[in-house]
Structure 1
Amino acid sequence: MIRLFLVAFLTGTMTLASAAAQSEELNAAVDAYLKEDYSHIDVIARYAEDGEPEAIAILGQAYLYGFGIEADQLLGIALLEQAASLGERSSTVHLGRVFEFGLEGIPANPETAAKWYVEAARGGDTRSAPAALKRLPRDIVIAAGGAAWAREAGAARPVSIEPLEEKVVIVPSPASALLGTSSPPPPLRMNDGTPFPIFADTKLSAAGDAAASCFVVLKPEIERQKLALEDLMKLDGFGASEAGGSRHSELAETDRKLAAMRDALKASEAVLGDPKRNGNLTAEDVRLALIVHSEALGSRPQTGPAASLCAARLVPLIGESAGWTDGR
């Protein structure tokens, strides 16, 4: 009933919600939903019918991930796009993340991700979208109209994180509410005392959360390093460089970093795919945990591991974790 109604709603004329404060009824329904009480989904759908952007956004996430309702990814994306068109900024950022990292059934598409992130940045997002645009390849960001937020040529990632001067209200996704935290958890501690920060403390094992944090960091970073390697190979005169030349050394170092990151990514995938090491979770639970880690990377990238730490320390951490209890 709800799905049929929403399909008709999406193709019809939508009445814009008034600018008055949100109804307490809707707030209560959203709060219940985020606590895994889906009995008020009809209330959220009713407010979506009235054109309330937050209700449309929550319903879109529900369909996208199958929270409390039969999953329908196409409808979920359509609802999120509709919420974004009404100025619901978190939906615009969320769409960027969906297409940046991909979901089961939705392949990653950096061009589409850049488009949504640029729209979010233009709409006033000062943290998540600009940080994400600096993760994406520079040429893709510029093609999407985001030259103002593209990373500098040759830069692997932002040099620093500027302090947030304005108050930003972030509506948590159901995945964040169920599996993650709004602030970073304490870092894991390796046997030699090295701290290993993670983005979120989810249902995954300690090693699983480390693997998840590294997975979401390494995937885009490997693509960046591949582009850097290709750029070095294209430099005029590179073939004539001496073995000890600066370009040759830079190429060798980039290739070494790329190989180490690929090894760490394979290790993270092995842990996440093994119930004996990931906390005895199903593939769906692992997918949800990865959503939380990727969202945290987008909103607070400085609180998790850098790609270099993952490349150097994830494999030893996984080895050590065989003797850990899961008390973190």
Structure 2
Amino acid sequence: MNDVNVKTVISNESEFIPSFKKQINWKIVLLSLPVLLFVLTAIFGPMIIDFNPVNTDTANRVLPPGSKIGDEISWLGTDQLGQDVLAQIIHGARISLSVAVATVLIGGGIGVVLGLLSGYFGGWVDAVIMRIADIQLSFPTILLAILIAGVLGPSVTNVIITLSITRWVTFARVVRSATLTAKNKDFVDSARVVGASHLRILTKYILPVCLSPLLVVVTVQIGLVIISEASLSFLGLGTPPDNASWGLLISLGRDYISTAWWISVMPGIALAILVVCVGFLGDTLRDESDPYLNN
């Protein structure tokens, strides 16, 4: 038996491997549009609207949305330092999305590797990894993040490290579950018979089975990471003041909520829209990839 035979067995297991419907799901398309808009804003926005966190303009402080400053219009008003709120939100989108993507890549990568090893080898490897995961899950995620961030100090890099440490468990448990189900399937047994190495089996035959549930987890975790980063920044444990994070903007504007509500409300609305759209997108992808719901 060779790889051709193994692929034949895999094709017979198509009902096991989750797959997305071939027709267009307009709900996914509609939910993806706001997310794509935020991504494009984070990438190209700072190239269009300049923002310097050091510069202040006290003559134009706490101006309401739509105020005219010289020949330009401040569409979302200015803050207590005279800085444009829209420019801060655009730059804050870059920080929030960068932290979310980096956290998912680092924490998710660690979780995927540990989940594969835990589910495939079992025994003491599974026991050690899962007991560490259980111990970490016994602590509330946000409290653990506050503890780690308090030790490391405020910076974008430290926020990524903190959130990666708190998020790998979710990826590991999802991948472990998928691996436990897949490792005894016929196509994996066929790969063992032809002498495939453990690394080849894990990467070529088991990892593809984990991709659909991983896609859903990644989508959901991006929203949760954005909230966690905003929470840490709001508490002064996230990004430093020279980085316009959404959580930091909300925190700095809370003392002016009665007189200049737009300072906190505008970044809060941007945060809510992105997180809600990402959350609904994750739920839709989960429903779309579930073979039982599709039947």
Q: TM-score, normalised by structure 2?
A: 0.32
Q: TM-score, normalised by structure 1?
A: 0.29
The higher-RCO structure (CA 8 Å, 6+ apart) is 2
